[in-house]
A and B are shown apart, each in its own frame.
Chain A
Amino acid sequence: MSDASQAGPVLAADGTPLKKSLQRALRAQKLRALALIAPLLIFILVTFVGPIADMLFRSVENAIVSETLPRTVVALEDWDHEAGEAPSEDVYRMMTYDMVTAAELKTHTRLGSRLNYETTGISSMFRKTGRRVDDFGEEYTDQFVALNPAWEEPATWVALMAASTDPFAISPAAEQALPETASIYADFAKTIADTKGDSVTEEEPWHPVYLALYTDLIANPDAASAFSGESAALISAAAAAVPTFEVTTTKDLFVKADKGWTDPEVWGTIKAFTPEYTSGYFLASVDLKKSPDGIESLPEDRQIYMLLFKRTLFMSLMIMGSCVILGYPIAFLLANLPMRTSNLLMILVLLPFWTSLLVRTSAWKILLQQQGVINDILVWIGLVDDADRLVMINNQFGTIVAMTHILLPFMILPLYSVMKTIPPYYVRAAKSLGATNWVAFWRVYFPQSVPGIGAGCILVFILAIGYYITPELVGGTTGTFISNRIAYHISSSLNWGLAAALGTILLAVVLILYWVYDKIVGIDNVSLG
């Protein structure tokens, strides 16, 4: 420190410049703080934030269509929904290949239910067709087998299609000469291996494989040249015979399974939902619909979500308001009573807080229903006629009362902790300067308690907006929240995408509120007693 008086940087005890030394100390401090926080942060990120993000991602994810119907999706690219006609035979044929694979894997009904959210009836079309699709092309099988029984033999097919090295890989020659057959045969080989652990050497191919072979041979009569030996002979004989085969269009087969397949609307829906990511769920959650013709609004008798969002907001505000009105006097009382008394009363505030939510909600049912305690008392003292008892439950009123009760402690506690810090002498000073009780309260005390109101309000509002069990039990039809629909879509309708979209919107609202809250009061300023 001897040269501290000289020009140049101030040095610390160990001779490093003080600025640097301080920086290092600061960095160490930051690191230590982060090290303390890290375990919890990682814990929350892994056990909570990750899962939530994963859940919300389902709101845009839509790979199911292109994964289940890869060929159809490509074939549909050239089809124009505007023309108002069903697509060409090619599309139906591709659909046959996709569908037979999907039906074996049992993914077709899953896709059916997915598309049924968009257009009613698709679910049963997929179900019915899936049941029959393995027979599509049966007549081709019969004709090939009539031509040469060898076509029935799995070994014939393996010789024809498989690469010399690996029975599960398709030979390039087959891929070149018989593209459709090769592609569907590959699916066949993979599917039976995956689902039943069978090998292609033991199973006769699906009928649609024969359909594909027929199509390939018509398109490429010269296919035999790609093969050698027995296979070449078989193929050339078949190629010579196919022009005389009896044919049915696959379109007819589809229509026979369900006449809905002629409806361009159905194909339009499939086409509209081919991208891997969709805005469909988000549109649905604001009462819009992604249709083949673009975005349109849902028919009025099916619009519900905007109403529910508005209602959720309105009721949460009402609950918040009731909590302020009921919570303020209690917090004031608690803050101004001597400690011992106020702590006793505090137990009354905290007791319901720690009683099971389910039990409290049931208790409100008992209290509020028409044959319930409150109505009984009102009838008994003669305020209400026995014939027209008040309806106080299974409506908005019931939800607001029960939820106000449940959330009231969340209002009282932050209010109380703010009021505790308000020094009593300001009010005394105001009064001694001539203010009336009311003026002293309103102009001096109340403004100081506003942060507490802010804290309580946002806390109550955020908690209220996501509530689900209480509105479910006492809400009836007009007192339910958006969360109830989310729960319904998660556990009953299985429309997880829509649930995730609704959840994302709700979460966005909550986060904005949280941000506002943090701006106004700061999250640190919440004390829970």
Chain B
Amino acid sequence: MELPPYATTGQRIWHYTFKVLCGLILFFLIAPIVVIIPLSFNAENFFTFTPGMLAFEADAYSFKHYQDFFSNPDWQQALVNSVQIAPVATLLSVSLGTLAAVGLSQDHVPFRRAIMAILISPMIVPLIISAAGMYFFYSRIGLQGTYVGVVLAHAALGIPFVIITVTATLVGFDRSLTRAAANMGADPVTTFFKIQMPLILPGVISGGLFAFITSFDEVVVVLFVGSAGQKTLPWQMFTGLREQISPTILAVATILVGISIALLTTVELLRRRSERLRGMSPG
């Protein structure tokens, strides 16, 4: 994207126009976040930029919504529930998903397309249908309103992401490495954990993160499949938006954006590490 020194004026104009355009689109992407952060410091209980805020008066800003988040047992419980549900659901989808992705990437898999379609289905079935279907079914077998029920439902929703990312990493996987390991006497389990796993780890991790976010940000299914005991953060936000608009939601969002940035940085670092491992040059 470097502009060559011999570029014509027209090329220069185009080059800068393109950069401005991209800048605008990127701004479009983060605009909502830019709005959320200041509003979360609003001293009033509405999603409104008060005149005081626009004039940068100190008393128009406050930390009260953050205090509310950290002191309100409802929010704290929701946070605890989210933290208890999402990792377990993620673990379940990652372990089952990785196994299946390894199976799927073998050479001769019968009914590969059909199996793939079934495994991807949680991503393509409209969420409201999934929610209602799981709700009726889980009620019947006594899983509705239980921790296990919500974890299973969220795990199912996260699986397509794991499958997609892991199979994508396996496409670039050099099969001769496992053969070499087997040749040297490693059993399949050792081969998997010592050879294959480290190399597909980035895919597994990014799939896992997608699965985690799916569970962590999921509201429709948990609203149906869960009950009070499984009230997650998005559920609390949803009731908050419906019953009582309070910028506490924005405070939570701001905190979560912070965590997202941390997570994304982690992913990026991991990716760089894996590329070093695979001996690929960055780029």
Q: Which of A's residues lie within 8 Å of B, judged by CB?
A: 26, 29-30, 32-37, 39-41, 43-45, 47-56, 326, 329-330, 333, 336-340, 343, 345-360, 362-367, 371, 373, 376, 405, 408-409, 417, 437, 462-463, 465-469, 473, 483, 486-487, 490, 496, 499-500, 503, 506-507, 510-511, 514, 518, 523-529
Query: Are the CB atoms of B219 and A34 closer together than 8 Å?
Result: no
Query: Are the CB atoms of A524 and B282 closer together than 8 Å?
Result: no
Given the complex of chains A and B, what is the CA–CA distance between A352 and B31 in angstroms? Answer: 9
Query: Are the CB atoms of A338 and B283 closer together than 8 Å?
Result: yes
Given the complex of chains A and B, what is the CA–CA distance between A21 and B250 in angstroms? Answer: 64
Given the complex of chains A and B, what is the CA–CA distance between A365 and B11 in angstroms? Answer: 39
Query: Are the CB atoms of A349 and B29 closer together than 8 Å?
Result: yes
Given the complex of chains A and B, what is the CA–CA distance between A362 and B115 in angstroms? Answer: 38
| B197 located at the interface, meaning its Cβ lies under 8 Å from any Cβ of chain A in the complex | no
Shortest B18–chain A CB gap in Å is: 7
Known A-B contacts A360-B32, A486-B128; A528 and B11 likewise in contact (beta carbons under 8 Å):
no
Residue of A nearest to B151 (CB): A47
Q: Which of chain B's residues 87-113 have a Cβ closer than 8 Å to chain A?
A: 96-97, 99-100, 102-104, 106-110, 113
Residues of chain A with a CB closer than 8 A to B100's CB: 36-37, 39-41
Residues of chain B with a CB closer than 8 A to A465's CB: 126
Given the complex of chains A and B, what is the CA–CA distance between A339 and B219 in angstroms? Answer: 35
Given the complex of chains A and B, what is the CA–CA distance between A499 and B131 in angstroms? Answer: 12
| B164 located at the interface, meaning its Cβ lies under 8 Å from any Cβ of chain A in the complex | yes
Given the complex of chains A and B, what is the CA–CA distance between A207 and B124 in angstroms? Answer: 56
Query: Are the CB atoms of B136 and A48 closer together than 8 Å?
Result: no
Interface CB pairs A-B, < 8 A, 19:
A36-B104, A44-B159, A47-B156, A51-B130, A51-B136, A55-B136, A330-B22, A354-B256, A355-B36, A356-B234, A357-B234, A359-B32, A373-B35, A409-B29, A466-B128, A483-B126, A514-B124, A518-B116, A524-B116
Chain B contact residues, majority secondary structure: helix
Residue of B nearest to A420 (CB): B283
Across the interface, B128 reaches (CB within 8 A) one of A358, A417, A468, A528, namely: A468
| B264 located at the interface, meaning its Cβ lies under 8 Å from any Cβ of chain A in the complex | yes
Q: Which of chain B's residues 14-43 have a Cβ closer than 8 Å to chain A?
A: 14, 18, 21-22, 25-26, 28-33, 35-36, 39
Shortest A18–chain B CB gap in Å is: 17
| B1 located at the interface, meaning its Cβ lies under 8 Å from any Cβ of chain A in the complex | yes
Across the interface, B210 reaches (CB within 8 A) one of A336, A337, A525, A528, namely: A528
Given the complex of chains A and B, what is the CA–CA distance between A477 and B113 in angstroms? Answer: 40
Q: Which of chain B's residues 153-207 have a Cβ closer than 8 Å to chain A?
A: 153, 155-156, 159, 161, 164-165, 167-168, 171, 206-207
Given the complex of chains A and B, what is the CA–CA distance between A408 and B217 in angstroms? Answer: 17
Across the interface, B129 reaches (CB within 8 A) one of A55, A326, A463, A527, namely: A55
Query: Are the CB atoms of A54 and B133 closer together than 8 Å?
Result: yes
Across the interface, B124 reaches (CB within 8 A) one of A350, A499, A500, A510, namely: A510
Question: Which of B11, B113, B132: most chain A CB closer than 10 A?
Answer: B132
Given the complex of chains A and B, what is the CA–CA distance between A45 and B192 in angstroms? Answer: 26
Q: Which of B's residues lie within 8 Å of A, judged by CB?
A: 1, 11, 14, 18, 21-22, 25-26, 28-33, 35-36, 39, 47-49, 96-97, 99-100, 102-104, 106-110, 113, 115-130, 132-134, 136-138, 152-153, 155-156, 159, 161, 164-165, 167-168, 171, 206-207, 210, 213, 217, 219-220, 233-234, 237-238, 241, 249-250, 252-253, 256-257, 260-261, 263-265, 268, 271, 282-283
Query: Are the CB atoms of B119 and A40 closer together than 8 Å?
Result: yes
Residues of chain A with a CB closer than 8 A to B128's CB: 466, 468, 483, 486-487, 490, 503
Given the complex of chains A and B, what is the CA–CA distance between A349 and B264 in angstroms? Answer: 11
Residues of chain A with a CB closer than 8 A to B164's CB: 523, 526-528
Query: Are the CB atoms of B168 and A524 closer together than 8 Å?
Result: yes
Query: Are the CB atoms of A32 and B106 closer together than 8 Å?
Result: yes
Across the interface, A51 reaches (CB within 8 A) one of B11, B126, B134, namely: B134
Residues of chain B with a CB closer than 8 A to A333's CB: 1, 18, 22
Question: Which of A346, A469, A496: most chain B CB closer than 10 A?
Answer: A469
Query: Are the CB atoms of B125 and A29 closer together than 8 Å?
Result: no
Given the complex of chains A and B, what is the CA–CA distance between A463 and B128 in angstroms? Answer: 12
In order of increasing CB-CB distance, the 9 nearest A-B pairs are A466-B126, A36-B103, A55-B133, A363-B32, A51-B137, A40-B100, A359-B253, A51-B133, A37-B103
